[in-house]
Amino acid sequence: MGGTLGRLRSLCPTVSVGTLTADLMHLGSELELLERVGVGVVHIDVMDGCFCPQMTVGPPYVMGLRTPLLKDVHLMVDEPLDKLDAYVAAGADIISVHVEAAVHIHRVLQRLGSLEHSERPGEGIVRGLALNPGTPLEWLVPLLDEIDMVSILGIDPGWSGQSMAPGTLTRVKRVKDLAAAAGKDILVCVDGGVTRANVVEIAGAGADLIVTGSAVFDGRAAEANARYVLAAAGGRTAS
């Protein structure tokens, strides 16, 4: 399998590292640190102050990250349909939208499926569908034809550093069962509440992509943390 989805799959299982708690005064060197360790995906949390209480960044920030890492854009925004093009134009490789955030989520996913990568015409964008901890997993079922990845949120979106909701790993296993029952090969991602203490268990539950922010950028030992979580997730660290 080629394309952007193939690139992502070739890295999995792996981690996608969020930069909300990175040193934003030195973001370039924080990204270089991830590269040096062998991390291949950077997670960009987009919050609009409506779907979730915080506000963070938008397309200019995504465009401004000049990095070879795959750009994994997590849209925590209401009604993302009209915003997709701007994130694609900004260089997004992966875009996840929330099932709770759009009245016509199927249409949003179809639109996402029609867009070409900004730097690699002919390649698509990896389509992710994110579910909050309180959302029934069955909402996924009618959408399985339109997604490449399901993102199970371990926390309610808003802030880094929250504790993972109990039941998150059970949800990961149930998603895998639902997809298998439908004959679909989709990636499963876990986002929120990942720590050095629970990352091995999350990988053991079958997560293909583990998103972590504060377990890496803790203000103390980011490089050692990144190396640890990448290896614990089952990813290949750089020597």
**Given 48, 93, 148, 191, which residue is catalytic?**
191
Among 74, 83, 127, 227, the residue binding Zn ion under the rule CB under 5 A is 74
Q: What residue 160 binds from ligand DX5, Zn ion, none (CB within 5 to 8 A, per partner kind)? A: ligand DX5
By rule CB under 6 A, what count of residues binds ligand DX5?
A: 21
In the residue annotation, 23 being an active-site residue is answered as no
Alpha carbons within 13 A on the beta-carbon side of 112: 31
Q: Does 45 bind Zn ion (CB under 5 A)?
A: yes
72 in catalytic set: no
Q: Which of 45, 48, 148, 208 is catalytic?
A: 45
Among Zn ion, ligand DX5, none, the one that 20 touches (CB under a kind-dependent 5 to 8 A) is ligand DX5
Binders of ligand DX5 among 183-212, rule CB under 6 A? 191-194, 211-212
- Per CB under 5 A, 191 contacts Zn ion: yes
Taking the complex as a whole, the smallest distance from the CB of residue 183 to ligand DX5 amounts, in Å, to 29
| Residues classed as catalytic | 45, 191
